Amino acid sequence: MKSGLFTRSTCALILGAMLFSGASAMADIKIAVANAGKIFSEIKEKKDWEQKMVADQKTLQDTAFQKQQKVKSLTEQRDNLRTDSPQYADKDKELQTAKIDLEVWAQIQQAEQQRTNKIQTKALFDKIVNAVAEVATSKGLDLVLADQHPEMPDNFMDQATLEQVRALLGQRNVLYSSPQVDITQDVITSMDAKYSAGK
């Protein structure tokens, strides 16, 4: 009987020591949060990239307009000819070639633009991860959680279904964190400084 009591008491003491040790170890772990979406939206490199995308899009639109005008001009030239004339067949061939050139060019530009955007997005995300690690190391942090705060669009509650509301709310993965543990702005400042120095 005493042996059983001793065993239970000993187990309780060991378990208590383990829990205390675990709690003590957890207390020593320094945790912070960072909002990757906010960082991505606010860093200077992302804003410069967006400006470049706008400029590139304007150039593509100008080129597309020129090609469309060529197709329009060739169509008018062909239609002014008699359908049974040799010139009509030659002009129609030139027109069809211009249409194919416009279509293929547009498809190539769209694919290239999507590819470039994906590569740039991945590159920026990798930089964010590295910047978070650098800031965390400088602050002596052990763990940084990705703090996600999904934005609720205007009139969302009026238009969304119950399932959509639940899905959006469920995307938030940190319910509370004090401003003292949020290193989002520190990461933005660090990335902007490094980007400006490298320009």
The percentage of the chain sitting over the pLDDT mark of 70, rounded to a whole number, equals 86
- The domain of 10 spans 2-147+182-198
* Residue 175 belongs to some domain of the structure: no
Q: Residue 16 pLDDT more than 70? A: no
Label residue 130 by pLDDT band (50, 70, 90). Answer: very high
pTM: 0.74
* Residue 169 belongs to some domain of the structure: no
- Given this model, what pLDDT does residue 5 score? 41
Structurally, the chain folds into a number of domains equal to 1
* Residue 55 belongs to some domain of the structure: yes
* Residue 131 belongs to some domain of the structure: yes
Dihedral in degrees, nearest 10, Cα atoms 73, 76, 78, 81: -140
- Kind and range of the H or E run holding 63: helix 44-79
* Residue 166 belongs to some domain of the structure: no
Mean pLDDT in residue range 100-122: 96
- Given this model, what pLDDT does residue 67 score? 97
> CA–CA separation, 199 vs 195, rounded Å?
6
* Residue 193 belongs to some domain of the structure: yes
- Given this model, what pLDDT does residue 19 score? 52
* Residue 111 belongs to some domain of the structure: yes
* Residue 156 belongs to some domain of the structure: no
